[in-house]
Structure 1
Amino acid sequence: MGARFAVRIPVLASLFPPAVRPVRPVPAVLVMLVVLVVLAACASVPEKPPAAVPATASAPATRYNVARFPIEHYDQDVDHWIRPDAADYDRPLLGAQEQARRFDALRARYFGTGARDPSPWNGTWLAASLLNAAGARQIADSQARRVRRFDNGASGVRKTYGENFQPHTSAWIRTIEANMALAQLDASHAGWPYDAQRRGITVDNALVRLLPTHDPAFYDFREAGEGYPFDALQDSALRPGTPVYTLARSADGAWLLVYSPDLIGWVDARTVASVDERFVATWRAAAQRELGAIIRANVPLADTPPGASAPRYRTFAPIGTVLPMTRSRDGRPAALFPIADLRGQAHIRTATLHASSLVAMPWSLTPRHLAQVMKQQIGRPYGWGNTLFYNDCSAETRSLFAPFGVWLPRHSSDQLRAGRRTDLRDADIDTRLRTLAERGRPLMTLVHINGHIMLYLGNAQRNGESVPMTYQNVWGLSPADNSRRNVIGGAVILPLLKTYPEDPQARSLAAKPLFEISVIGESDAGAPTGGGDAEHAPAADTPEDMPQ
């Protein structure tokens, strides 16, 4: 707007005679009318169209490499695939003892006090496994690698761009690096003493970043599967009420590097409140009495402060959020959740919820209940690394199984540890699909392909052929040359076909180089039976697979 007025101000000046000429007084109202008419004309006169941009390498790219996949060609009614009239609709998919073991492992990961419980509040485990020389070195090395990964000036680094399509500068990454104050993670500080004052809890949904910045880092958007929403710095999200331990603080105090039950990463400091021993004891005891899980999308958490006439909204709880549970005076289910006071200290509040929003854990893992959660999630948009607090593929499966007390790691390749694993990377597509049908248990089998994961629903007849049906949150399909994307962009039910008639050139998901299945409830010979991966701590670094 400023440039447009800059070139037209002389037009306004030319309407008035030079100051040296004698003129008759002009009524002020008339002057204002003339000015307003001219300004209106300025706003409506079209500008001269810009000259055509020559077809050079720097010309704007056209997104010819993106199309929309017609997912409506495939029935998205959950009841069509998980039949309410089936004889086993209310039959548990996990035995009571197995489910109890997995639930105990989940609770230990969040709140445990045993020597082998990797809870962020467990000083015994932290001191022995993370705050020692090896742990300090691993964390420091991980952070240094992350800085280098996003340093466009370093050799061999894949260039990243900001939201303005401009490559990130050296000054950008150096500013972030300085704010990380990496000296506090130096291995010479090995043997960090465990500090109970570093314990905290999330009081809001918290995006987990690879580096302490809200700035995005996109790869070249002209390449298929790059650009928005694939911010390479976006890793995950923590839900309200998640225990954390602060490993480092940014120099400006705006960011915390936290250890959580799921992963290590940087979060906005405003999303975390400090906890004291009294809070921890109260929260643990409540979680031990009864732990609840959210089973509806984005349930508001609100409480009524003393003296207030109406509930005060605090935040929302996504599906799979785990919170201590109690009952209101009228018997309705209620969730305990934390808020922060002005000093950043955590306090416990209570939100009374509808029975359709909160269930006691572990919820019976039946087809009915699994379908109930699935109906809440299907059709919701894809969110890479929980962008905008939506799910990506592995966040989808985590959210789906959490209410049943089945903890899954955050990243897709790690989730295969939840059950008996079969590696089919060397098999052809026919063998892969046949093995999935033979060895897979409907609703309990994860399928992993090149950084993407999905849930096997069972086989169904399509055009006279038996094909595997899957539930997954997927970005889209691509041809073998990776030149474009046929975007789905959400949680859907999709068959694993050799070819899709909507896009015959698209490569089947079952034909990717990597293809593995894992049956939940069946443990590998070398894995602890029913252990649910309880003793495996979150990795200090994040896999760099970006399956889009």
Structure 2
Amino acid sequence: MSRLQSNCLIAAVTVAIMAGYLLHLNIGCLNQEKKEAAPGEAPCSQSYEAPDTIEDLSKIPQDIRRFAAMIKETMGTDEQAQVMQQFHERYFAPWTTPEPLFNVSTVTEQVKMFAERTWYGENRQIVEPERMQGLLALADLDRLPSMNQLGIVIKPTFIRILPTIRPFYETPDDFPFDQLQFSEIKPNEPIRILHATKDGAWLYIETSYANGWIEPDAVRVTDESLQKRMIKAPRVVIVRDFAIMQTERGDVLPQPKIGTLYPLVQEEPDHWLVNVAVAGSDRDAALATARIAKNNASRHPLSFSPEALTLIGNELLKTPYGWGELYRNRDCSATTRDFFLAFGIWLPRNSLKQITSGPLVSLANLSSIDKEKLIREQGIPFRTLLHQKGHIMLYIGLDGEKPIVLHTAWAFRYKRMNCPENKLVIGRTVLSTLEIGKELPLSKGTILDRLDRMLLLPVMPGERIEKDQTSHEEKKLILPPL
């Protein structure tokens, strides 16, 4: 046999062996697929694609105007005065109460328990124990509180659970849910400074609604005269996000969001002249005078008029989703809180604290039909909060017989038979029914299925408040939530 014939024979035998091996693999794969699929069920179809547009969002105009136009319930003068007194007391509580607003020992224990869990960093890897221990050592929690100074915020900043800007995620692919991100604090907000890290690079503070770590350049210490000016002056409130502000000297100030409050100095034809907290000498705060265009701010509080409701509601509809107000966006409870701030109604920061801040109406154990009926009969548009675990919404009225809500949501989870679970990201503030996404095979049912509580606002002084058993954790919203 020639060398050429010998090589050809070897090649033929090799091809035959490989073909048999590949055939064996294919049969094995087919058998495996058959094993994974239940009897009588087809394997997952990879060709399925979720719709680009959620049905609710195409059918319901994303405009508050027609719902606001139907408003009949308004607050009387006496009721408004009581609400504003209550708002005033709570907003300035960091300056007017003798003790910290939050239980310091409870906070310390919660943070230590938080640190014992497994977390993933921005590189999708487990956070090393050494890094966690380093953060705890830096925080020096056993000495909290080591300070007691009254201060004020001079620029928007974020409150963090631990003194670091680096994120902690529950899973490697859990963006944007950085569990260290708590909330944004607005400029001019009163705070109490309670502690500092060993290196002085972070301060532990509390506002009237939140507590945690911030970077020191965002706050300054206040004296008694500044506090009196802030407390006693009439105020204006920002009604459009990221309003442009300049001092009388022409200095551009950090852009505030809806709900930011400023003491009024003078009203001009086209502008408001207001006081703004800025850095003074050393670590002290000073008040500068700045101008805001009148279309960006109004006297505080706004009235519950169709015009004001439309203005604030439609402005909030422009907001992308931001867990803990990450990137200066909003999550569900930031949206409801900022909405009511403009109207002089104070709310806590997270969804469970908000819904338990007054005498709530239970919707648990009711049928979907009965839930909607109760909302139609007892809910007051633009003054009613609806809650399911981990998510809060503002009821704004009816579309036919269906309750409509304004809410900020991240995504839907859905799962087709024999297929992995998927999610369809919304990532913004929307108007919808309580059955948004029902055209998808939702993993855990609709919002309406899981709706559990309703609260009418404002909660008047003397009304029974539900016992608050929450910490500063708020579940991220995957609709329906995990």
Match of 1:297 in 2: 241
* 1:435 to partner: Cα distance: 1.6
Distance in 2 (CA, whole Å) between partners of 1:235 and 1:433 is 32
Deviation digits for residues 411-456 of structure 1 (CA, Å, limit 9, x no counterpart) = 1112124554111122222222222122211221110100200011
* 1:519 to partner: Cα distance: 1.5
| 1:339 has 2:298 as partner | no
Match of 2:89 in 1: 108
Distance in 2 (CA, whole Å) between partners of 1:74 and 1:506 is 23
- Structure 1 residues 498 and 339: alpha-carbon distance in aligned structure 2, compared to 1, 3 A threshold: closer
- Structure 1 residues 79 and 392: alpha-carbon distance in aligned structure 2, compared to 1, 3 A threshold: closer
Match of 1:235 in 2: 182
Preserved contact between residue 476 and residue 485 of structure 1 (Cα < 8 Å): yes
Deviation digits for residues 261-312 of structure 1 (CA, Å, limit 9, x no counterpart) = 11111111111111122322232232xxx1221100111332133xxxxx11
Match of 1:518 in 2: 455
Amino acid at match of 1:248: H
| 1:121 has 2:86 as partner | no
- Structure 1 residues 143 and 442: alpha-carbon distance in aligned structure 2, compared to 1, 3 A threshold: same
Q: Aligned runs of 1:74-473 on 2, under 5 Å?
A: 74-79=59-64, 81-82=66-67, 84=69, 86=70, 88=71, 93-111=74-92, 119-122=93-96, 125-127=97-99, 138-151=103-116, 157=117, 159-185=118-144, 195=148, 198-222=149-173, 227-286=174-233, 290-305=234-249, 311-327=250-266, 332-341=271-280, 343-417=282-356, 419-461=358-400, 466-473=401-408
Match of 1:475 in 2: 410
Preserved contact between residue 153 and residue 191 of structure 2 (Cα < 8 Å): yes
Preserved contact between residue 335 and residue 408 of structure 2 (Cα < 8 Å): yes
Distance in 2 (CA, whole Å) between partners of 1:255 and 1:66 is 47
Preserved contact between residue 257 and residue 265 of structure 1 (Cα < 8 Å): yes
Amino acid at match of 1:169: E
- Structure 1 residues 221 and 438: alpha-carbon distance in aligned structure 2, compared to 1, 3 A threshold: farther
Distance in 2 (CA, whole Å) between partners of 1:199 and 1:538 is 26
Aligned residue pairs, count: 427
Preserved contact between residue 68 and residue 309 of structure 2 (Cα < 8 Å): no
Distance in 1 (CA, whole Å) between partners of 2:439 and 2:218 is 46
- Structure 1 residues 300 and 467: alpha-carbon distance in aligned structure 2, compared to 1, 3 A threshold: same
Q: Give the TM-score normalised by structure 2.
A: 0.81
Preserved contact between residue 328 and residue 352 of structure 1 (Cα < 8 Å): no
Distance in 2 (CA, whole Å) between partners of 1:302 and 1:166 is 44
Amino acid at match of 2:156: N
Match of 1:493 in 2: 431
- Structure 1 residues 185 and 66: alpha-carbon distance in aligned structure 2, compared to 1, 3 A threshold: farther
Amino acid at match of 1:340: A
- Structure 1 residues 346 and 538: alpha-carbon distance in aligned structure 2, compared to 1, 3 A threshold: farther
- Structure 1 residues 96 and 539: alpha-carbon distance in aligned structure 2, compared to 1, 3 A threshold: farther
Preserved contact between residue 212 and residue 267 of structure 1 (Cα < 8 Å): yes
| 1:546 has 2:476 as partner | yes
- Structure 1 residues 439 and 350: alpha-carbon distance in aligned structure 2, compared to 1, 3 A threshold: same
Q: Give the TM-score normalised by structure 1.
A: 0.72
Deviation digits for residues 102-136 of structure 1 (CA, Å, limit 9, x no counterpart) = 1111111233xxxxxxx1112xx324x65xxxx7x
* 1:371 to partner: Cα distance: 1.3
- 1:70 aligned to which of 53, 62, 87: 53
Identity %: 25
* 1:200 to partner: Cα distance: 0.6
1:220 is paired with a residue whose SS is coil
Ranges in structure 1 where 5+ consecutive residues have no aligned partner? 1-63, 112-118, 152-156, 187-191, 306-310
Amino acid at match of 2:135: I
Preserved contact between residue 125 and residue 172 of structure 2 (Cα < 8 Å): no
